[in-house]
Structure 1
Amino acid sequence: MSGSVWLPPGARPDTTPGIPRQRTPSWAQPDPLDELAVRLDDFVAAAVHPDEIAALLESDGMSDDQIRERYGLKNSFALAEELYERVERRYPEPEGPVHDPWQVGLLGCLLRGVVFALPGLGYVLGAPLMTGPRDLGLPAGTIPLLAGALAGWTWNQGLAHRAYSWLGLGDRTAAKRSLLLGAPAGVVLGALVAFLVAGTGDMTGVAFAAGQALYLGASTVLLVLGRERALLLALLPMAAGTALGLVRTPSTALRLVLLLGSLLAVVVLGLLELRDKPQRTHGRQSTMRPQLVASLPYALFGLGTGVLVLYAALDSALAAVALTLSMGPAEWLLHRFRSGSLAGLRNTSTPRAFWRTTATTLVECLTIYLVTLLVLGLAMSALSPGLLVLGVVLWTGLLLQSFGAILSATAVCCAAALTQTLALLTHTGTPHWVALIVHGTAAAAQAALVCALLGRATAHR
């Protein structure tokens, strides 16, 4: 019967009069927003935050001009908010086990921490080989070594990012090609910087710096390609020589053999990894190509953090060792946080709930890292408030880097490194207090940036 409402059996009709629904005239144009909402219904319904929808719109190539012309809204964010309001939230459970790309083993990360720290034994084993007058109050050869190390860290950080970018695109051959071209260039750069800094001084430190540059290039190849175990085995002779030094003093010849033996092993393993192996490709290869300039912020981030760690090493070599060893647990906790934030995306239904979940996970992971660093500092009798604060700077910097906020992390760390350098050159304040103030300011700035990004779902992709 016309105008009646069908009700299921047993249901009571509403006694209030119904409001007639406005029908769209046959001549009226359909609402473009409704059409877009229907087309993107599944994605919009599962979005935790409008920023997720904005990212999808931008990835589809929808410009702000197109949005203003077709939908009458200011930009992609305004359109995303409108779609977010129009579509009811639905969070269907995925079929089968949920894929979590951030699940990594603790043992592998701890192994990387050990591999990061072991090269420091080379300086202990090789220190008696460097003779000459002290430079700026430091042992002979220290200045060329530090300059070469900073150049190497900077170059190889950028090189590693470029190689990882190729690996992310599924092109392992291109990643190896970038390492094959970039690693030797880094070796030349590190040795040249050490030579220029040494000037007319003793060349022993320059020779050691050249070996250091060669090691940094070869170890970058092995670490990027996931050959940590091979690198560890190559460093064992040098580690054994350092352990022998605790019992009796090794001869000069034995020191050279152990140092050159480990260096040669690392270089040979790196070259073997870069050999071209025939690969069978399926389907069409990606035409995407990472931009060289995209690796520059990562290189500068390596420079900034390298300067901060070097200042800590000049104050206490054992503190630097503790920091280096802590990078293994730091990497694992970083992956654990990203895994927890991914679970938060699935299990929360509002932006506020998602922010609370990720904030709780962040506090847990940062606390575990600081406890780990505290234990390492106590074990090496190198504990200081500055060590823990610097640990916060390094870990939050890595977290911002994984969020894609590499420019922010680089700006903070480089500013902190520059400030500490100027303070030391101008003798402004006590070095310990300067370091504590600089590190504390950097840690607070990066923590604020992390908190601002916690609730942004697109940062956790």
Structure 2
Amino acid sequence: MSGSLWIGRDEGQDTLPFIPRQRLPRLPEDDPLTELATRLEDLIAAAVHPDEIAAVIESDGMTDDLISAVYGHPDSFSLAEELYGRVERRYPAAAAPPAEPWHAHLAGCLLRGLVFALPGLAYVLGAPLLAGHRTTLGLPDGTIPLIAGAVTGWVWNQSLSHRAHSWLSLADRPAAVRALRRGAPLGAALGALAAVAVAGPGELGAAAFAAGQSGYLAAATVLLVLGRERALFCALLPMTLGAVPGLPAAAGPVLLLVSLAAAVTLAVRALRGPAAGDRARGAVSPRLTSSLPYGLFGLGAGVLVLYAALGDVFRHGSAGSVAGPSAIALTLSMGPAEWLLYRFRAQSLAALRTTSRARGFRRSVAATVTGCLGAYLVILAALAALGTLLWPAAPALGGPRLAALLLIGAVLWTGLLLQSFGAAPGAALVCCAAAVAQTLALAQGAPPSTEVVVSGTAAALLAALVCVVLGRATAHRP
């Protein structure tokens, strides 16, 4: 066999060819071989066999005639052996593992939990605007306008947030900004109009408070969608002065106006600047109807949270109790809840890489859901217990109240989990049905234990939906 040296050529003995590795003396710098070795140095250094180099040489269109005329070798294999011997082996370092696509910093999620909970102080600072006697429904004056404005804002801003995030997922930030520019002021106006429409005689102060609440919800939506959590947190800091002992009652509304003005100003600044951009021809536009389930989920979840808070209202005498320990615990827990959602996504992807059977993957997902949900409920229970200790004259955290709170928390977390996998319609349907059932039960004077039954049923339905949707490996595609 030409071009190779054989070792052990005894008859009947299987042997392997040996390719010489003799290092040839370096040629002058203007030698074509030197220039070629320099040009292909990285590729040659990483090659494990001359044939790899020969393949590259041939792919460059070098014929045997050209190789013979320019480099003095009969073919590409001979030239490759020459180049292989000229350059020392230098293999690249192993590639780093891919970045975790669902990594989230706990500090950032906790910050979001704070900006969700701090607005609860507004109900304490605005108590002079909400004071009054109980109405025929058993609720303090001003509660109905507050609820109407809040619910309208939740529905609108949840849908707007999804719409803007859909544009951001398509790498079209100008379109997201345009959506927020149009949608945020309209949402604030709708919330204020809803509050004014249901306000009764003597509830002008509550209607004004609800209008400010609608403006804040619109500004907060803009800042949260655009990743300005720190700015929103700074805007809310003036309200923390409401916890200072001996603060005059008149200072509360002033602090509210300062925080509202700061939030609106920061939102306007975030939306300022050019928002025009040419979209690629044929680019996909998110459908308006795709945001509707997210708004309906916000409606159902918001009503359930309100009913958890109204359990405190019935034990107190003012609408300011809407921000009681139950509501504060639920809103503050949204930070850890968000972080646990990211942890579930990360762990489910890890299970997808390490399990080879569908049954094993389903077991892994079920264990991950159970662990994350259990951790969230422990955090929620701890926050509720702490809030009960610190909140003035808060109702005792008894068995039925704690059970209802934890079941509502389970509904919220599993609903958010389904939303993150695109199963928002199912989550919205269950949450809205639970909200309607609880409303009818409240209107008919049902006992408080009905809340446990309604929330428990909704939690069970969402858990079953989680098993159906997330038990499939195809649902976990990055």
Q: What's 2:392 paired with?
A: none
Q: Which amino acid aligns with 1:257?
A: V
SS of the residue 1:389 aligns to: helix
Task: Determine if contact 1:195/1:206 at 8 Å carries over to the other structure.
Answer: yes
Q: What's 1:424 paired with?
A: 442
1:303 and 2:299 aligned: yes
Choose 195-204 or 103-112, whichever is displaced more: 195-204
1:367 and 2:374 aligned: yes
Q: What's 1:206 paired with?
A: 207
Q: Which amino acid aligns with 1:443?
A: A
1:290 and 2:255 aligned: no
Give how far 1:228 is off.
0.5
**What is the correspondence of 1:73-84 to structure 2 with a 5 Å cutoff?**
none
Task: Normalising by structure 1, report the TM-score.
Answer: 0.76
Give how far 1:134 is off.
3.2
Query: Which of these two proteins has the greater Rg computed from alpha carbons?
Result: 2
Paired-residue identity, % = 59
- Are residues 457 and 286 of structure 1, via their aligned partners in 2, closer, same or farther at CA, if it must alter by over 3 Å? farther
SS of the residue 1:118 aligns to: helix
Q: What's 1:395 paired with?
A: 413
Give how far 1:118 is off.
0.3
**What is the correspondence of 1:121-160 to structure 2 with a 5 Å cutoff?**
121-135=121-135, 136-160=137-161
Give how far 1:355 is off.
1.1
Give how far 1:439 is off.
0.5
Can you list the C-alpha shifts for 1:107-140, whole angstroms capped at 9, x where unaligned? 0001100100000101100112334443333232
- Are residues 127 and 160 of structure 1, via their aligned partners in 2, closer, same or farther at CA, if it must alter by over 3 Å? same
CA–CA separation in structure 2 for the residues paired with 1:129 and 1:423: 30
1:250 and 2:248 aligned: yes
CA–CA separation in structure 2 for the residues paired with 1:421 and 1:180: 34
- Are residues 120 and 332 of structure 1, via their aligned partners in 2, closer, same or farther at CA, if it must alter by over 3 Å? same
Can you list the C-alpha shifts for 1:18-77, whole angstroms capped at 9, x where unaligned? xxxxxxxxxxxxxxxxxxxxxxxxxxxxxxxxxxxxxxxxxxxxxxxxxxxxxxxxxxxx
Can you list the C-alpha shifts for 1:386-436, whole angstroms capped at 9, x where unaligned? 111111111111111112111110110000000000011112x312x1100
Can you list the C-alpha shifts for 1:217-256, whole angstroms capped at 9, x where unaligned? 000000001100000001001111x111xx114241x223
Task: Determine if contact 2:164/2:180 at 8 Å carries over to the other structure.
Answer: yes
- Are residues 117 and 285 of structure 1, via their aligned partners in 2, closer, same or farther at CA, if it must alter by over 3 Å? farther
Give how far 1:284 is off.
4.5
Task: Determine if contact 2:110/2:335 at 8 Å carries over to the other structure.
Answer: yes
Task: Determine if contact 2:177/2:275 at 8 Å carries over to the other structure.
Answer: no
Q: What's 1:314 paired with?
A: 310
Q: Please provide the CA RMSD for this pair.
A: 2.1
Q: Which amino acid aligns with 2:442?
A: L
CA–CA separation in structure 1 for the residues paired with 2:468 and 2:203: 50
1:357 and 2:343 aligned: no
Give how far 1:453 is off.
2.1
- Which of 263, 275, 284 matches 2:272? 275
Q: What's 2:239 paired with?
A: 238
- Which of 431, 436, 440 matches 2:456? 440
Task: Determine if contact 1:156/1:216 at 8 Å carries over to the other structure.
Answer: yes
Choose 406-415 or 380-389, whichever is displaced more: 380-389
CA–CA separation in structure 2 for the residues paired with 1:131 and 1:442: 34
Q: Which runs of 4+ in 1 moved over 4 A?
A: 277-281, 283-286
Q: What's 2:183 paired with?
A: 182
Choose 303-312 or 139-148, whichever is displaced more: 139-148
CA–CA separation in structure 2 for the residues paired with 1:411 and 1:251: 43
Task: Determine if contact 2:129/2:209 at 8 Å carries over to the other structure.
Answer: no
Q: Which amino acid aligns with 2:349?
A: L
Task: Determine if contact 1:298/1:406 at 8 Å carries over to the other structure.
Answer: yes
Task: Normalising by structure 2, report the TM-score.
Answer: 0.73
SS of the residue 1:137 aligns to: coil
- Are residues 180 and 280 of structure 1, via their aligned partners in 2, closer, same or farther at CA, if it must alter by over 3 Å? closer
Q: What's 1:260 paired with?
A: 257
Q: How many residues align?
A: 364
Q: Which amino acid aligns with 1:191?
A: A
Q: What's 2:221 paired with?
A: 220
Task: Determine if contact 2:128/2:249 at 8 Å carries over to the other structure.
Answer: no
Give how far 1:206 is off.
0.8
Q: Which amino acid aligns with 1:351?
A: A
**What is the correspondence of 1:326-345 to structure 2 with a 5 Å cutoff?**
326-345=333-352
CA–CA separation in structure 2 for the residues paired with 1:192 and 1:280: 34
CA–CA separation in structure 2 for the residues paired with 1:179 and 1:236: 24
Can you list the C-alpha shifts for 1:356-407, whole angstroms capped at 9, x where unaligned? 2211211111111111111112112264111111111111111111121111
Q: Which amino acid aligns with 1:359?
A: A
Give how far 1:278 is off.
7.5
CA–CA separation in structure 2 for the residues paired with 1:132 and 1:420: 26
SS of the residue 2:374 aligns to: helix
SS of the residue 1:119 aligns to: helix
Q: What's 2:162 paired with?
A: 161
Give how far 1:201 is off.
4.2
CA–CA separation in structure 2 for the residues paired with 1:280 and 1:294: 23
CA–CA separation in structure 1 for the residues paired with 2:336 and 2:276: 34
- Are residues 333 and 310 of structure 1, via their aligned partners in 2, closer, same or farther at CA, if it must alter by over 3 Å? same
Q: Which amino acid aligns with 1:415?
A: A
- Are residues 285 and 371 of structure 1, via their aligned partners in 2, closer, same or farther at CA, if it must alter by over 3 Å? farther
Task: Determine if contact 2:159/2:291 at 8 Å carries over to the other structure.
Answer: yes
Q: What's 2:76 paired with?
A: none
CA–CA separation in structure 2 for the residues paired with 1:391 and 1:280: 41
Which residues of structure 2 form unaligned runs of 5+? Answer: 1-13, 15-93, 313-323, 389-395
Task: Determine if contact 1:169/1:286 at 8 Å carries over to the other structure.
Answer: no
Task: Determine if contact 1:404/1:459 at 8 Å carries over to the other structure.
Answer: no
Task: Determine if contact 2:129/2:206 at 8 Å carries over to the other structure.
Answer: no
Task: Determine if contact 1:131/1:204 at 8 Å carries over to the other structure.
Answer: no
Task: Determine if contact 1:173/1:276 at 8 Å carries over to the other structure.
Answer: no
SS of the residue 1:380 aligns to: helix
